[in-house]
Amino acid sequence: MNRLWSSALVAAALAASTVGVGTVSAQSATGGLQLFDQRIAAYAQLHARIHAAVPWVPTDDTSVLVRRRADLGAAIRAERADAKQGEMFDAATAAALRDIVADVLRGVDVERLLVDLYEDCETPVGYRPLVNASYPDWATHQMPVALLMALPALPTGIQYRLIDHDLLMWDVDADVIIDVLPDALPRAGS
């Protein structure tokens, strides 16, 4: 089956699996996600504070833009030097998010979905994303729309990403992985 048809089938399955799921997931996940919302808002404030302290003169010079991003990332990493996996995705949040993801992906061949997402990427064997690391250049920037619609909204500049079965939160402007939720996507047979 070619990539276009495969992608169309995955998209149709994702769309079909989300009918009626959003309300149930939102209600069952509310308790686990309230603290998550507070934590991500605090991170967004940290980002804004550090961003305001870094000089930002408008420019079209790519090397200057790359340097600014690196400086912002370094400053955020310094502020979060002790950041650990699970600070944003604590146990209650992780359970709520895994429930949402499982509901959205019910009936979807997750392994096929991941193969399609990473079809043009050379994924290093055994790679695991780490908190405070940069988002890898080889990784895709695609996310299934159905997942984005079901997951809690994030502040501007912070995005969800998938690497293998892990869900990440990525600060795009600073190129910092904020947190990692391992095995957020269900594995075959689970």
Q: Which phi and psi (to 5°) does residue 62 adopt?
A: -60, -40
Give the count of beta carbons closer than 10 Å to the beta carbon of residue 53. Answer: 10
In this predicted structure, the answer to whether residue 9 has a pLDDT above a threshold of 60 is no
Residues 90/35, Cβ–Cβ less than 8 Å: yes
User: What mean pLDDT is predicted for residues 19-24?
Assistant: 41
pLDDT computed for residue 38 by the predictor: 94
In this predicted structure, the answer to whether residue 1 has a pLDDT above a threshold of 50 is no
- Computed over every residue of the chain, the mean pLDDT equals 83
In this predicted structure, the answer to whether residue 25 has a pLDDT above a threshold of 50 is no
- Secondary structure in 3-state letters for the chain: CCHHHHHHHHHHHHHHHCCCHHHHHHHHHHHHHHHHHHHHHHHHHHHHHHHHHCCCCCCCCHHHHHHHHHHHHHHHHHHCCCCCCCCCCCHHHHHHHHHHHHHHCCCCCHHHHHHHHCCCCCCCCCCCCCCCCCCCCCCCCCCCHHHHHHCCCCCCCEEEEEECCEEEEEECCCCEEEEEECCCCCCCCC
In this predicted structure, the answer to whether residue 22 has a pLDDT above a threshold of 60 is no
pLDDT computed for residue 30 by the predictor: 59
Q: Which phi and psi (to 5°) does residue 90 adopt?
A: -65, 180
User: What mean pLDDT is predicted for residues 139-152?
Assistant: 90
Q: Which phi and psi (to 5°) does residue 144 adopt?
A: -60, 130
pLDDT computed for residue 94 by the predictor: 95
pLDDT computed for residue 49 by the predictor: 96
Integer Cα distance of 179 and 189 in angstroms: 26
In this predicted structure, the answer to whether residue 123 has a pLDDT above a threshold of 80 is no
Read off the tokens for 9.
């089938």
User: What mean pLDDT is predicted for residues 182-186?
Assistant: 93
pLDDT computed for residue 124 by the predictor: 78
The residues spanned by each domain of the chain are 3-181
